[in-house]
Structure 1
Amino acid sequence: MAGDLSFWVLTLSGSALQASHQVSYGFGTLYWRSLHLSDTTIGWLWASGVLAEILLFWQAGRLLARLGPVRLVALGGAAGMLRWILTGTLTWLPFIATLQMLHALTFGASYVGAVHFLSRSIPASAAASAQSLCAALSSALGGGLAMIAAGSTLCGSRRRRLLFHGRPLRSWVGRNGSAIPGGSRSTKAIAFICAMPVTAGGMARIYRPACFGYLEQVG
């Protein structure tokens, strides 16, 4: 497992996807309040994302049979680019609600694809360890670092602010994504997700003006 490139590429991809979600989890409500949405409406927005995710899990078997795990992970990454880019630009409630429904793909599809990819590519004797390690690294590297970066970007001073744009990662994949040693289609397809511009700094910079204004009003 330690020398399996596909496993580590998948883990890195999961970290990027987790990073994109954590900023929304931490600051999404503040952002929506800055758009003058009521707390009841905000509650329904969060619930709609969960309901969409449940519906995807319900149809996961059919999606896996048709697309396969790698394409599901790639679909989640592509949906993430669309969701987070539009989140900072579309402020009409129907658009916001539609973007929340993409949680089914950005989280649900990528999660299902990752779990099944591991189950097919890792020996049964190491499957549990691989899934646990992948989840731990994704949550710690993606979720933890994203929240630190987002909080610093949103609320820190200009000097101390962390600006994570994902540029080094995107440039690395651009140089090496087509030349991964022994890279199969699976590895290259998952590697594409590492290049998506939805890391913590990009999302935090989208949220920052609205959240900052809202915090000044309520503070």
Structure 2
Amino acid sequence: MLPYWRLSTYYFFYFAFVGAFSPYFTLYLQAMSLTATEIALLMSLMQLMRILAPNLWGWLVERFGGRVTILRLSALMSLVGFAGFFLSTQFGGLLAAMAVMAFFWSAALPLIEGLTFSHLGADTHRYGSIRVWGSCGFIVAVLGLGQALDSVPIEAVLWVTASILAGILACSFTLPESAPPALERKPSSMLETLRRREVRALLAACFLMSAAHGALYVFYSIYLVDKAYDKALVGWMWTLGVAAEILVFMLMPRLTRRFSLRAILVFSFACAVLRFVLIGWGADSLAVLLFAQLLHGATFGAYHAAAIAVVNLWFPGRLQSKGQALYGSLSFGAGGMLGGLLSGYTWDSLGPEWTFTLGSGFALAGLVCLVRGWPASAPAETVNS
């Protein structure tokens, strides 16, 4: 029986953390008088650990099993690492706390995604109905904290985020382990899978899509506040993007019946090209920003749901944990780190407009990579709906 609510609750708290941490922790760091480069370096540690750690966790799961045990360890040590932010406001102390938290935090997403697909079995089209609760958690956190920060000190970010991490820890103890994957008659080879042209094209494109979002996740809140928008509106802008994402997750079963996963990904990349140009050069217009945020439904919602479904198909059985870890490492890890670090360098030297334009360029490169490396005629990738 599918543990729908236990998985959904974990996703709710996991992405509530993202909703409290990603938009507002940079504002806390700015209040501590850190430079743009220092902020980018700190935030990029999250992506750096997503490169290094998930493959270790994936190997441990493949070798020893115990996916839920590692999820619990991840939750506990993430909270321990985050506690370091209460102990220091100096860059060195913040760097150490971020490193510990990020190393263990990076284990969670590929493991919970793999666990979810294991429980879903053939019903992969139901993934969106579970993942949508993560988007709801994000909205609750980003909207509630955004409203609160107009009247409470910025240090409230720490207390709210720590409380959410404690909620993740509690949820991790409710998760049931899944049955091991059925043995394949002809076991898949990781190297053989990676030799496929379309697999390499997808992974490269995912790397570039995350790089395109680098400036958004590091500097978007700072950018809007510098444009004289208040923090409550910042929360609403993040909420609008995730509301669009929720709608897309709910529509994914219908979309995958009508369109191929490749077509959904191509459309998502095209939307990303447009989105970041609009943010960079149209931020003085609230209407333009609103439209750009609605595109988040495509640039993250449709993109992630389609990409992770393809990864699940192309890395079956015993390769599932490794495939999810590789996807997370290359996209959210390496791609996110490149985009975040470059944005920290260009933010002061070239300005926000060209920094977001660079993100659009990354999305365009990903679109070209996807279209040329994964021909429309290639077999692949229908999802049971």
Using structure 2 for the length normalisation, give the TM-score.
0.42
Contact in 2 for aligned 1:14/1:138 (Cα 8 Å): yes
Contact 2:315-2:323 within 8 A present in 1 as well: yes
1:128 maps to which residue? 321
- Against the structure 1 CA distance between its residues 186 and 53, is the aligned structure 2 distance closer, same or farther, given a 3 Å change threshold? farther
Given that residues 262 and 376 in structure 2 are in contact (C-alpha distance below 8 angstroms), is that contact kept between their aligned partners in structure 1?
no
1:146 maps to a residue whose letter is: G
Within the alignment, does 1:20 sit opposite 2:212 as a pair?
Answer: yes
Q: Deviations over 1:164-183 (max 9, x none)?
A: 7869x95xx69xx75x6xx6
Structure 2 Cα separation of the partners of residues 121 and 17 of structure 1: 19
In structure 1, the partner of 2:312 is 119
Aligned partner of 1:81: which letter?
Answer: V
Q: 2:262 aligns with which of 65, 70, 73?
A: 70
Contact 1:52/1:103 (8 A) holds in 2: yes
Aligned-pair CA distance for 1:50: 1.1
Aligned to 2:334: 141
Task: Specify the code of the residue in structure 2 equivalent to 1:95.
Answer: V
% same residue: 27
Deviations 1:24-50 (A, max 9, x none): 111111211222111111110011111
Q: Whole-Å Cα distance in 2 between the matches of residues 42 and 186 of structure 1?
A: 43
1:84 maps to which residue? 276
Question: Quick check: which has more Rg, 1 or 2?
Answer: 2
**Maintained 8 Å contact 1:48/1:101:** yes
- CA–CA distance in structure 1, aligned partners of residues 274 and 339 of structure 2: 19
Q: Which whole-Å deviations, capped at 9, do the CAs of 1:109-152 have from their partners, x for residues lacking one?
A: 11111122223334434233212211111122210111111111
In structure 2, C-alpha distance between the alignment counterparts of 1:123 and 1:49, rounded to whole Å: 32
RMSD: 2.8
Q: Distance between the aligned counterparts of 2:218 and 2:377, measured in 1?
A: 32
Q: How does 1:24-43 map to 2 (within 5 A)?
A: 24-43=216-235
- How far apart, in 2, do the equivalents of 1:64 and 1:111 lie? 13
Aligned pair count reads: 176
Q: Which residue of 1 aligns with 2:290?
A: 97
Hey, what does 1:203 align to over in structure 2? none
Could you list the per-position Cα deviations for residues 65-113 of structure 1 after superposition, in whole angstroms to 9, with x for gaps in the alignment?
Answer: 1112111111110000111111122221122112101101001111111
SS at match of 1:59: helix
Q: Shift of residue 4 of structure 1?
A: 2.2
Q: 1:8 — aligned with what?
A: 200
Structure 2 equivalent of residue 154 of structure 1: 347
In the alignment, the residues of structure 2 paired with residue 113 and residue 42 of structure 1 have an alpha-carbon distance, to the nearest angstrom, of: 28
2:375 match = 184
CA distance in 1, matches of 2:211, 2:290: 21
Quickly say closer, same or farther: Cα 1:186–1:44, change in 2 above 3 A: farther
Matched residue SS, 2:195: coil
C-alpha separation in 2, matches of 1:128 and 1:66: 29
Partner of 2:7: none
Alignment match, 1:190: none
Contact (CA 8 Å) 1:69, 1:112: kept in 2 or not? no
Aligned AA (1:7): V
> Partner amino acid for 1:153?
T
8 Å Cα contact 2:245/2:297 also seen in 1: yes
Q: Distance in 1 between matches of 2:377 and 2:315?
A: 14
Q: Secondary structure of 1:185's partner?
A: coil
Deviation, structure 1 residue 186: 6.2
Q: 1:62 to 1:14 in 2, by over 3 A?
A: same
TM-score (norm 1): 0.70
Q: Which residue of 1 aligns with 2:166?
A: none
